[in-house]
Amino acid sequence: MSPHLLLRRSGRRLLAAFAVGALASTLLVGPLARSAADAAMAAPARPGPTTTVTLITGDVVSVTETAKGEYATDVRRPGGARGGVHVQTIGDDLFVFPAEVMPYVAAGTLDRRLFDVTLLIENGYDDQHSDGIPLIVGYADAKGAAKPAPVGTTKLRPLTSVRGSAVKAAKQKMRHVWEALTPRAVTFDVNPKPVLADGIAKVWLDGKVRVNLADSTAHIGAPQAWSAGYDGKGVKVAVLDTGVDLNHPDLAGRVATTASFVPGETVADGHGHGTHVASTIAGTGAASGGQEKGVAPGADLIVGKVLADGGYGEDSWIIAGMEWAAAQGARVVNMSLGSNQPTDGSDPMSAAVDQLTADKGALFVVAAGNSWGEAWITPPGAADAALTVTAIDSADRLADFASRGPRFGDYSLKPDLAAPGVDILAARSGGNAADGYYTSMSGTSMATPHVAGAAAILAQRHPEWRAGQLKDALMSTAARLDGYTAYQVGSGRVDIPAGLNAAVTATGSAYFGFQEWGRVSPTPIDRTVTYTNTGDSPVSLQLDVTGHVAGGPYDSDPHADEGTPAPGMFTLSASTLVVPAHGTASVTATAHPQLGAPGRRYLGEIAATGGAGAATRTTLGMFLEEERHDLTFSVKDTNGEHLSVWLEVQRLGEQGLLGTPGTEPDPVYVPAPPGVTLAALLRQRQDDLRDAERAVTDLVDQFRSPDLRHDVIEVLTDVADVRRRFFQIQEAARHEVLSMVVPNLRVVPHRENVAEIAGMKRGVRYRALLDREALLAQDMQADVRASLAAGQEIRVVDEVPVKMMIVDGHTALLPLHSSASPTSVLVHRSGLLAVLIAFFEAEWARAFPLEPADADDTVTENQLDDLDRQVLALLLSGLTVHAVANQLCLSLRTVHRRIRQLMTKAGVESRIQLGWAAARNGWA
């Protein structure tokens, strides 16, 4: 079965603070992209000893960051505040959501960044540095920019493009501002369509941005090319991705041809990734007055949808899209995608890249990946012919998420080139004046279209060049990135002016192969390096070659001798070369593996300099395998006949399962005695057991009280005892049962808990905190609906920290520790029980409540049938499309079709918008 393809994106994962409006694909490599204003400038640093922040509701938050991503928080509520406060850490950021704002945030009318306390401090909007909060207020009325500022705010400037104004809300009047914006109390139960006052459509934080597309295009020299008359005009560039938003102002009229290779989906971009990539290549910047232009705004785009709206695709979809793009005559094909496993380039997608490049001459520009580690270049970027791109930031620093080379298996030179890929601002699918036309994303996906745009500009300059010439020119003229090796950044950062103005270009790289242990070539190995002169005069070049050790095997000793010079490892047949006008000249580069050490990677570089500013660089590489020997197994049956079997080979010596008696030069391995083999493991288990027993003893001694009728602690070690006490304490319940439910209940599955049903019939209040993963359990959705209908209160959190049940505030049952036989502790009245109750209430306050569907509702045109509601409920609970299909026993295609129908019914184009629509229409 083909592996799923994953988008190349990275950044901070923003988990849903609540379910409505928080739909997102979980198949992305790396987390969700932040909006442009989420990428904040540093001012001042993260929370200091204690910092206070006044929110738009008038709540005053005092926060101390005790450790990275951990905070001590106090919230002082203003007079007239309604409901509680939800305090959550999402990623490394602290969010404080007063209950009264949640309907507005979920509906998309209030910017959630207004409640990101960490971001507000980083932006300098804390009380120590600002006496107000800058806002952007947008109106539904086209003349909203002329309206007066809301009560308690000062108008700074009109913003006609968003039908509103920039205002500053004074913190001393903040509660008055909030009450003026929201004159009526709104909750999901009362009004699922919250509306702000005076025709206001949305209120944003007027945030600070860090990096945008205008910066990244300048970083690689695109404006100089535009000034010289080169913007990719007439060059056909294919984008194979999640589709495209054809209505975005930056792409309107820019896409000549489209095709979808995803079954059941149109070319419309329901994800957003493809639109961002396409505009980075050839967006006009129309929505920003031309500021956010792509690298090659004159190029002709064709778009093939090869990834579904969920962010995944199959090999066959990708290959079909590649063939289509090549058949359409694309000079450049952008592929900001890849599989989840590295290969040596022999996989089908990489093979297709090599074949189509040879047949059609199209240059495939492919993302290197976002897997951080070495040797993790994935297909189709593993192809020899692919121009494989990694990501750097605005300071030419390698992005921490970027995959490194060498190529898996054969240590070939990858990636090929680097380009800006951190916090890149480009077109947002479904963008509009109210919500913004642009969004910021990071990843090698974002770096790749920068290089594709550069290739289009170079293709316009040299219409006769095919893929290999474009690739060589871009690599050999790249800007050097000091401090990094070719296995990290390839030849360096793409430099459009250097490639455009170069009269002489060279072979981009030359690899001398993987030299196997015992088969290392006894003679030097040659490769031809070719120089091309497109100028009208011959050019004389001075050639210099260097070499060094780049490390050892990536799986055992990757930094061995790293940086050690290796003089003589690479040599040239000549130190000077004359390249004729409009012609080529070659030099032979030679590697000398007999001079190297086993288990070492060698990198080199040929630097060519000459008249008229000619300067090129060619990367060289070779790997000498460490000492290895073939091991042949011969398996025979009891009759001595040879058998054909599968063997599992383990390094038993490293696990202490083999011994080497004696000190012979060639040791003989024999099985180690059981006492030796298992002694360490048994000692560790005995130590663990003693530690657990000591902990229980200390706990009992600490909380035992002679005044209580029972011991404070009762330890249950038998399954039958645990089941008996589980039912007994519920049967004794008179007022309330609190429970935390985890996946894979072992002792009492949910449907066997008859005491719960009996308790609710007696009027006992049941409150349950449900682990999101528990929703994956067989038939759990039906059980949840039945429990809600019976009156149980259920809330969902991302992860339940511990399984627990508390009855009437005086008894708690919870597991002691994980073991083969379930062991539980029954806690009676004590200070420990008070801590457990407080712990439950804290988790309950931050959880998302599930509500029963109204059985009396009649289904109208704007409502859903039962299956639609089930699909939507599971998506809003955070499940992936695959998990939804498994839970409901549906095909993946059926679930995708249902989601598309829901989006159509809601009149939205993305799943995030579907979450908001669910709130507005009362579906959630």
Looking at the annotation, which residues are catalytic? 241, 273, 445
Would you call 856 helix, strand, or coil by DSSP? coil
Place of tokens 């070539």: 521
Structure tokens at 429: 């699918």
The answer to whether 78 and 175 are in contact (CB under 8 A) is yes
Helix orientation angle between 866-876 and 911-920, rounded to the nearest 10 degrees: 120
Beta bridge partners of 28: none
d(CA 313, CA 265): 12
Q: How many residues does the chain have?
A: 924
φ, ψ of residue 845 to 5 degrees: the values are -65, -30
DSSP type of residue 29: B
Q: Pick from 117, 129, 14: which is nearest to 64 by CA?
A: 117
Q: Pick from 614, 630, 544, 551: which is nearest to 579 by CA?
A: 614
d(CA 445, CA 434): 27
Place of tokens 């490390």: 551
CA dihedral 428, 249, 323, 353 (to 10 degrees): -50
d(CA 636, CA 629): 23
Structure tokens at 272: 């957003």
d(CA 765, CA 763): 6
Q: Pick from 11, 13, 9: which is nearest to 89 by CA?
A: 13
Structure tokens at 247: 């209505």
- Residue 255's Cβ-side half-sphere holds a number of Cα atoms within 13 Å equal to 26
Cα 472 from chain centroid?
31
d(CA 235, CA 238): 10
CA distances from 615 to 266, 513, 711 (A): 47, 26, 84
Question: What is the layout of strands, in order, in the sheet containing 51-54?
Answer: 51-54, 60-67, 70-76
- Residue 132's Cβ-side half-sphere holds a number of Cα atoms within 13 Å equal to 15
Pairing of strands 823-827, 811-817: antiparallel
The answer to whether 99 and 82 are in contact (CB under 8 A) is yes
One-letter amino acid for residue 209 of the chain: V
CB-based contacts of 167: which residues, under 8 Å, 6+ apart? 134, 135, 136, 137, 149, 150, 153, 154, 155, 156
CA dihedral 606, 370, 563, 594 (to 10 degrees): -70
Structure tokens at 179: 């009450």
Structure tokens at 93: 């950021």
d(CA 811, CA 828): 5
The answer to whether 156 and 227 are in contact (CB under 8 A) is no
Q: DSSP letters along 603-661, please?
A: EEEEEEEEGGG-EEEEEEEEEEPPS--------B-TTS-B---------GGGGT-EE--
d(CA 726, CA 723): 5
DSSP type of residue 252: T
Sign of CA dihedral 185, 187, 190, 194: positive
Q: Pick from 412, 403, 345, 414: which is nearest to 376 by CA?
A: 403
d(CA 201, CA 214): 29
d(CA 767, CA 806): 10
